[in-house]
Amino acid sequence: MNLKASKIISLPKIFDFRGNLSFFENSNQIPFDIKRTYWIYDVPGGEIRGGHAFKESQEFIIALSGSFDVVIDNGENEMKYSLNRSYFGVYVPNLLWRKLENFSTNTLALIVSSISYDETDYVRDYGEFKILRNEAKK
Ligand code: TYD
């Protein structure tokens, strides 16, 4: 399996005195076909979301308002992306452990996924995640 890396994706920004506009589309800005959209909001101070990996699901995460950090762990190294603008987000390929933390008040986190919701796609055990990463490297 080809293990991909997470990365920041900058979105188009249409400047306008009436207010700016940004967008993303299947396959153009986002490197997968979008199957599902969900969002996270009303996060109490100090809470952490995520804390798991996906076997197949790829995601693109964006802070539509407010700010938070996306911490990505590939089983060996950790990387932190600070999201605080609505014109860029982070692409998270499958088989990466990810958590969302350090939410500011009134944050709205938008997430698009490459698959429909499927609990069997979740890897919620870190030990199992490490095994799957090592298998995928072979
Ligand atoms: P979960 O993905 O574990 O939350 P997070 O990773 O953001 O902390 O999802 C929390 C609950 O919401 C879980 O019971 C499943 C449900 N859920 C859906 O029904 N559909 C979805 O698209 C998502 C993302 C979650």
Q: What are phi and psi of 49, to 5 degrees?
A: -105, 165
- 137 pLDDT tier (thresholds 50, 70, 90): confident
Residue-wise pLDDT for 70-98, tens only, equals 999 999 999 999 999 999 999 999 999 99
| Ligand 1 pocket, mutate which of 35, 38, 69 (most atoms under 8 A from CB) | 38
Distance CA 130, CA 66 (A): 32
What is the pTM assigned to this prediction?
0.96
Q: What are the distances in angstroms from CA 129 to CA 109, 114, 116?
A: 24, 19, 21
Cα(49) to ligand 1 centroid in Å equals 9
2-61 residue pLDDT tens:
788 999 999 999 999 999 999 999 878 999 999 999 999 999 999 999 999 999 999 999
Cα-based torsion angle of the residue sequence 76, 78, 79, 84 in order, rounded to the nearest 10 degrees: 150
Distance 50 CA to ligand 1 centre (A): 9
- Band the pLDDT of 1: cuts 50, 70, 90: low
Give the C-alpha separation, 37 to 62, whole Å.
11
